[in-house]
Amino acid sequence: MQFQIYRARETELIEGCRRKDRASQKALYERFAPKMLGVCCRYIKDRMEAEDVLVTTFMKVFDRLDQFKGDGSFEGWVRKIAVNESLTYLRKNKNMYLETDLETAHGEMDVTAISHELEAVDLQKLIASLPTGYRVVFNLYAIDGFSHKEIAEQIGISESTSKSQLSRARSHLQAKLAQMEKSMYAKVNVQ
């Protein structure tokens, strides 16, 4: 019942936005902007730049509302636009330094040895510390659920490069996690 009420309100907001109703646009923006800013920040380190991409995202959402047919989740549709706008921004404004040498990609480490639980904020900081190319591929694959084929098409690299970048991102994250584990272990032993 609660979901049906939420869905009905969402549908009303969408219809209001299609009629160019400013109050509906504001309400829709306020409902989805915080989550979509998080999506943009996962790809773009600088918060102000991510906010600019967020604005562009919602301009496209409002311009293309007629393309949303209601078949799937509206939030998912908006999220896809936010991811695409973030990638477009990176392509236009940043050199992603995507490495292509698959031969030097290291095997994956086992993270099950890391026993402490990270706060979501700590994990976000670790992901944000990745080099741009690693971070983009990691976000697209591990968080947004794109396949390597889709990633390759989205950012103009080969599938093997996508796999290499993901492997390197994981290795980088695992090394950072291991370093954190050692640091925490050292603190416990000192006390």
pLDDT, tens only, 105-141: 444 443 443 434 556 667 788 888 899 999 999 999 9
Report d(CA 48, CA 124) in Å as an integer: 17
Nearest residue to 90 (alpha-carbon basis) of 29, 140, 150, 160: 140
* Domains parsed from the chain with CATH numbers: 2-93 (1.10.1740.10), 102-190 (1.10.10.10)
How many CB atoms sit inside 10 A of residue 48's CB?
8
Tokens of 176: 């950072």
Report d(CA 60, CA 32) in Å as an integer: 14
**Residues ≥6 apart with Cβ < 8 Å to 51:** 37, 40
| 63-86 exposure pattern, b = at least 16 Cβ within 10 A, e = fewer | eebeebeeeeebeebbbebbbebb
| Orientation angle between helical segments 22-43 and 2-18, nearest 10 degrees | 100
105 or 184: whose pLDDT is higher?
A: 184
Report d(CA 157, CA 77) in Å as an integer: 24
Mean confidence (pLDDT) of the chain: 82
* pLDDT (average), residues 65-83: 92
What's the pLDDT band for 169 if we cut at 50, 70, 90? Answer: very high
* pLDDT (average), residues 167-190: 79
